[in-house]
Structure 1
Amino acid sequence: MRMPEPRAFWLDEQFDREHGTDGRGRYEAEVFRRIDEFADTWGDFAPVAFAVTAWRLATELSPGFVRWHRRIISATCARSPWDGSLVCAVTVASRWPAELTWTKQWQRDRGWQDWPRLFGQFTTPTEEDQTRRPHLRALLQVEAPVPLDDLPPTPDGPDDEVAAAARRAVAVLARELNDLLAPMIGQLDAGVPADS
């Protein structure tokens, strides 16, 4: 029986609604508070710059409007300087590569430590931990294009439905990144080689 894939990315709609003010969710309020950050995107025929700004605002909230799996350390979206398309960069916590796990000879009894975890979250070693033993934390750097098909058009100005378009852009990006990364996260969590 195959286990369902974990979610890599999702929107925390409930927390957003419950902690909003003046009838607005937290994210909508943040979009209006930082509306000037969208100024360079108004009326752009490509939805990329608008989506990138919407994503950045959603991930900078604390806690974020976009949530991600405990293995994901960071997730950014940007306009490609090559052709203007939308690209993402996601950093994922991983186990040590197989070349380092088949023998411990390289460790030379120094007590090398992997990712520390706190309540299941991958964390940085504390300053005290760093003085006691060496740590080796493996990271995977994912860089990939993101399809533009379902992104909303860029609003023409601050009087348009900016918050709704930003929310839609973030939902599309979260869905696309989830589709891209959920299988990888599931495989990492399983901790066993994939079937041939």
Structure 2
Amino acid sequence: MPEPRAFWLDEQFDREHGADGRGRYEAEVLSRTDEFADTWGDIAPVAFAATAWRLAIELSPGYVRWHRRIISATCTPSRWDGSMTCAVSVVSRWPAELTWTKQWQRDRGWRDWPQLFGQYTTPSDQDLTRSPHLRAMLQVEAPVPLDDLPSAPDGPDDSVASAARRAVIVLARELNELLAPMIGQLEAGVPADS
């Protein structure tokens, strides 16, 4: 079975729903160049890439798409040394210690993540009045390689949109490489071989 994708860019939707010959993401970057102001000419590409990523995931639907188990994904400069780090929240099953026996549940009807059309969702207010929910989540925090990130442009010119797009492509690729094996293991639902 092939490994599932954790992250990818929705280029087709972006192009089809753009205007004036531009994709949605390019138009978004060009309309919000002021948000890149602190990154112009920066020797490190991290702050520029982090802003490009944020704009990509803020679009609705996002320019960056992710697997149904991924709840959120941010890329930010490290406060320690300025390198790039990511923080990704991933839906998980309950830990084995809680599935081994149901004794801890004490007949309270504990529920896991609700799903709607295969997507993990937050319990509704009504759901929460009927039964308790335990939604297990993994918090992944990791460094992201900088090798292929484009340089930050020197100013708000025509290169900003293409550099932002390139940064998002690199970050999506790196996050996919980091998290796709984990997502595959969670989807398989069986313990890994030792």
Query: Which category of TM-score, normalised to the shorter sequence, fits these structures?
Result: over 0.9
- The offset of 1:46, in angstroms, is 0.2
Q: How many residues are paired up?
A: 194
- The DSSP-based 3-state class of the residue aligned with 1:67 is strand
- Residue of structure 1 in register with 2:90 after alignment: 92
- Residue of structure 2 in register with 1:116 after alignment: 114
Letter in 2 for 1:178: N
- The offset of 1:195, in angstroms, is 1.1
1:108-155 deviations in Å (ceiling 9; x for gaps): 010000000001110000000000000000010000000000000110
Cα distance in structure 2, aligned partners of 1:4 and 1:52: 30
- Residue of structure 1 in register with 2:144 after alignment: 146
Matching of residues 12-31 of structure 1 within 5 Å: 12-31=10-29
Cα distance in structure 2, aligned partners of 1:8 and 1:180: 9
- The DSSP-based 3-state class of the residue aligned with 1:176 is helix
- Residue of structure 1 in register with 2:170 after alignment: 172
Cα distance in structure 1, aligned partners of 2:107 and 2:12: 48
- The DSSP-based 3-state class of the residue aligned with 2:145 is coil
| TM-score using structure 2 length | 0.99
Cα distance in structure 2, aligned partners of 1:113 and 1:159: 52
Runs of 4+ deviating beyond 4 Å: none
- The DSSP-based 3-state class of the residue aligned with 2:192 is coil
Identity %: 84
Cα distance in structure 2, aligned partners of 1:195 and 1:23: 50
Q: Which runs of 5+ in 2 are unaligned?
A: none
Q: Which runs of 5+ in 1 are unaligned?
A: none
1:150-170 deviations in Å (ceiling 9; x for gaps): 000110000140000000000
Cα distance in structure 2, aligned partners of 1:164 and 1:146: 21
- Residue of structure 2 in register with 1:71 after alignment: 69
- The DSSP-based 3-state class of the residue aligned with 1:175 is helix
Cα distance in structure 1, aligned partners of 2:118 and 2:175: 22
- The DSSP-based 3-state class of the residue aligned with 2:48 is helix
